[in-house]
């Protein structure tokens, strides 16, 4: 049997032989001294934290220069921690993501609440260098670490009624102070068609730049859909639901004339308030042309053969 390589796949030789995803259970014992006796704090919780071990380097890559790590981790959109670009880094410093779970439901045979480690353990972690194009007309190139979303979704055994996949961010205004203001209808929600969700480019990401996902970039787990505007790549996911009907999504609810359900990067369809023809790549001086499907047209255009991309923006 001949396996035909997709053009974005990297030759096997450039892939590290074994990919391991290490988990680390860190038991924090808080010691206190009362009357000279050393006591173990009975309430000290066992913390499970995700650690990136070995991973398959550059499984999918592009020639564009990678954005400076400092830029990618200090210029963010994460409204749960504030609406300014520098707010997420500053305001998420104490955000704890230990013992994170994702609740899976809807049209599938295996609805349950899953620990993050359990979801990722069966799969090698891959590094994928993707363009990220924000609807605000700036862009970056980021080396993500993660697992194809389709591999993980398969385990939940979606039924034939599952036409869409809906995602939900944590809703906790104490831990996410930006949610104390109603800038969006919380929790942040996103959705994909099932075909988009299982497309090999769609990544469920737990890290970037060889490290665990920084809080401001969507710790501990976020979506990365490189051919769509960045807001589809929902951060800090706690819920996945398979649905028969198209699920409501946050930005579409906020302004349906500006943010469509599909939100594929398309230089021919302007935002009502600005052009989408060009973009500012963070770290560069001159603007560059925005590419159809953010440069992933060869891989994903087939998903939309029957759609008018102007009407279904
Ligand atoms: N996810 C949640 N939960 N909240 C957000 O505000 N912002 C989106 C997306 N995911 C956002 C989110 C937008 S507009 C973009 S451009 C990307 O995250 C930015 O990802 P980055 O900060 O890692 O570059």
For a substitution probing ligand 1, which of 203, 230, 249 has the most ligand atoms within 8 Å of its CB? 230
What's the gap in Å between 42 CA and the centre of ligand 1? 38
Please give the pLDDT value at position 10: 54
Q: Classify residue 129: in a domain, yes or no.
A: yes
Decide if 133 contacts 290 (C-beta within 8 A): yes
305/12 Cα distance (integer angstroms): 31
> Domain range for residue 241?
12-300
Please give the pLDDT value at position 12: 46
Decide if 283 contacts 68 (C-beta within 8 A): yes
Contacts of 197 (CB under 8 A, 6+ apart): 149, 150, 153, 165
Q: Classify residue 296: in a domain, yes or no.
A: yes
Ligand 1 close to Cβ of residue 231 (< 6 A): yes
Ligand 1 close to Cβ of residue 179 (< 6 A): no
Ligand 1 close to Cβ of residue 76 (< 6 A): yes
Q: Classify residue 134: in a domain, yes or no.
A: yes
Ligand 1 close to Cβ of residue 80 (< 6 A): yes
Contacts of 86 (CB under 8 A, 6+ apart): 74, 75, 76
> Could you please report the per-residue DSSP string of 60-114?
E--SSPPPPHHHHTTS---GGG-SSTTHHHHHTTT---TT-EEEEEESBS--EEE
When divided into structural domains, the chain yields a total of 1
Ligand 1 close to Cβ of residue 233 (< 6 A): yes
Residue nearest to ligand 1 atom 11, measured at CA = 78
CATH number for the domain spanning 75: value is: 3.90.420.10
Ligand 1 close to Cβ of residue 87 (< 6 A): no
Alpha-helical segments (H) within the chain: 69-72, 87-91, 116-120, 149-154, 194-197, 250-254, 297-300
Please give the pLDDT value at position 22: 38
Regions of the chain where pLDDT drops below 70: 1-50
Please give the pLDDT value at position 126: 97
Half-sphere exposure in the Cβ direction for 297 (13 Å, CA): 8
Q: Classify residue 252: in a domain, yes or no.
A: yes
Please give the pLDDT value at position 278: 98
Q: Classify residue 312: in a domain, yes or no.
A: no
Q: Classify residue 116: in a domain, yes or no.
A: yes
Q: Classify residue 289: in a domain, yes or no.
A: yes
Contacts of 53 (CB under 8 A, 6+ apart): 20, 21, 22, 125
- 84, 41, 80, 85: which is closest to 236 by C-alpha? 80
Contacts of 58 (CB under 8 A, 6+ apart): 10, 14, 15, 127, 128, 129, 143
- 101, 97, 74: which is closest to 216 by C-alpha? 74
What's the gap in Å between 17 CA and the centre of ligand 1? 33
- 71, 69, 56, 49: which is closest to 219 by C-alpha? 49
Average pLDDT score, the chain: 88
Helix (H) / strand (E) containing 132: strand 126-133
Q: Classify residue 41: in a domain, yes or no.
A: yes
């Amino acid at each position: 049997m001949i396996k035909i390589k997709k053009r974005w796949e990297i030759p096997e030789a450039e892939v590290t032989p074994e990919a391991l995803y290490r988990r680390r259970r860190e038991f924090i014992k808080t010691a206190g001294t009362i009357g000279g006796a050393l006591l173990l704090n009975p309430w000290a919780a066992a913390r499970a934290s995700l650690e990136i071990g070995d991973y398959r380097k550059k499984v999918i890559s592009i020639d564009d220069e990678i954005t400076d790590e400092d830029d990618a981790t200090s210029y963010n959109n994460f409204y749960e921690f504030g609406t300014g670009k520098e707010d997420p880094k500053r305001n998420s410093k104490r955000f704890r993501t230990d013992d994170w779970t994702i609740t899976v439901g809807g049209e599938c045979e295996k609805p349950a609440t899953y620990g993050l480690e359990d979801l990722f353990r069966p799969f090698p972690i891959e590094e994928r260098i993707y363009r990220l194009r924000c609807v605000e007309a700036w862009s970056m190139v980021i080396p993500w670490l993660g697992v194809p979303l389709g591999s993980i979704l398969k385990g939940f055994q979606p039924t034939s009624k599952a036409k869409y996949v809906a995602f939900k961010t944590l809703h906790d205004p104490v831990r996410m102070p930006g949610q104390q203001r109603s800038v969006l209808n919380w929790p942040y929600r996103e959705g994909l068609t099932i075909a988009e969700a299982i497309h090999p480019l769609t990544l469920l990401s737990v890290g970037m730049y060889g490290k665990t996902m920084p809080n401001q970039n969507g710790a501990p787990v976020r979506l990365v859909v490189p051919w769509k505007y960045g807001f589809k790549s929902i951060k800090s996911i706690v819920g996945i639901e398979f649905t028969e009907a198209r699920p409501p999504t946050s930005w579409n609810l906020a302004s349906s004339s500006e943010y469509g359900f599909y939100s594929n990067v398309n230089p021919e369809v302007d935002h009502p308030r600005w052009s989408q023809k060009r973009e500012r790549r963070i770290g560069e001086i001159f603007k560059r042309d925005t590419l159809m499907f953010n440069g992933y047209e060869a891989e994903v255009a087939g998903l939309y053969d029957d759609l008018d991309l102007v009407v279904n923006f």
